[in-house]
Amino acid sequence: MRKNVLTNEMEPKRLLVRIVRNKEGEVTLDPTGKKPGRGAYVGLDPVAVKQAANKKTLDRVLQTNLSDEFYQELYDYVDHQRARLDLFGELGTKH
């Protein structure tokens, strides 16, 4: 379980996307969850990501200035993962 920084709710790690800021200040998506640096977790909710972009929520959480392009990349990734989840069901479960 990890805390979704956009909703402040605890969610299963497999239903979250990790965003990491490294020592050089670069912020990237971390689908593996293993990159070094300060991490923040975001749920698979495209609407919440759009709201975060408008309010610059992740800028405050990660203590940096993020570009609109980064927020768009995050939105596209979350939207894709949400569609996969809706299509295939729970991620990481065996049938």
Give CATH superfamily name and number for 2-88.
YlxR-like (3.30.1230.10)
- Give 82-94 pLDDT, tens digit per residue: 999 999 886 554 4
- Tokens coding 70: 């980064």
What tens digit of pLDDT does each residue of 23-75 get? 999 999 999 999 999 999 999 999 999 999 999 999 999 999 999 999 999 99
**Stated pTM of the model:** 0.89
Q: Coil, strand, or helix at residue 2? A: strand
HSE-CB for 88 with a 13 A CA cutoff: 12
Each domain of the chain, given as residue ranges in start order, spans 2-88
